[in-house]
Amino acid sequence: MRKDEIIKEDNSRIEQQNEEKVNQIVDDLTLFDDDLMSLVFDKNIPATQLVLRIIFNRDIEVISVEGQEELKNPLVGGRDITLDIHAKSSKNMHYKELAEGVHHFKETEEGRDIVCESVKRYAEQYAEAEAETSRINTLVQSVKMLMKNTSVTLDQAFSNLGISDNDRKIISKQLKK
């Protein structure tokens, strides 16, 4: 086999493995997960109405539903609605309004594509944040080592390493901890 063919085959295998991982993430999603929850409830008046009726124990008429982009507020807690929230499949769900949303976003090709794209975006954002944290931690360690090994001041270490003004502020805060 030629080198180009081996690289192409490896890239294809990696792409397939990544797709399988994303599909597994989607399979494991429940209504408890923010991404699936927002997709199922956004513009879904019957499902939203059902949940609000259960939560408030009164007849509520929902006129429209606009999903919030992200709801990751620790004050909200776990949205403790013990109906179909933990279901990974629509098959055994009690409430059809919820089952229809879960079915669409997990069990149809179009819906899965939407959720997969959402999962990929989240993974990319997470990876970028982790990379930035790692980059800053590496710079902090470099500054510490340079100061320790050469007895330079903090400003001299920043200058010697060519650290930007923005990174200097972040690193200074971390060094004060």
Token pair 């539903």 is found at: 65
Question: Is pLDDT of 162 > 50?
Answer: yes
Q: Work out the number of other CB atoms within 10 angstroms of the CB of residue 53.
A: 14
Give pLDDT, residue 66.
Answer: 63
Question: What are the tens digits of pLDDT across the range 5-30?
Answer: 777 776 777 777 777 777 776 777 66
Rg of the chain, C-alpha, whole Å: 24
- Which has the closest alpha carbon to 124: 39, 33, 18? 18
CA angle 21, 92, 40 (to 5 degrees): 60
CA angle 70, 99, 104 (to 5 degrees): 70
Question: Do 154 and 172 form a contact (C-beta atoms < 8 A)?
Answer: yes
Could you tell me the pTM of the whole model? 0.47
Q: Rounded to an integer, what distance in angstroms lies between the CA atom of residue 156 and that of residue 147?
A: 9
Q: Rounded to an integer, what distance in angstroms lies between the CA atom of residue 62 and that of residue 39?
A: 17
Give the burial string for 76-113 (b: 16+ CB within 10 Å, else e): eeeeeeeebbebeebeebebebbbbbbbbbbeeeebbe
Which tokens go with 43?
A: 């513009």
Residue 51 vs residue 170, higher pLDDT:
170
- Which has the closest alpha carbon to 119: 38, 43, 36? 36
Residue 154 vs residue 29, higher pLDDT:
154
Question: What are the tens digits of pLDDT across the range 28-78?
Answer: 766 666 666 766 777 777 877 777 777 777 787 877 766 554 444 444 333
Which tokens go with 142?
A: 């470099």
Tell me, what amino acid is at 130?
E
Domain residue ranges of the chain, discontinuous segments joined by +: 3-123, 127-176
Q: What residues have CB less than 8 Å from 49, skipping those under 6 apart?
A: 60, 61, 62, 97
Q: Rounded to an integer, what distance in angstroms lies between the CA atom of residue 161 and that of residue 142?
A: 8
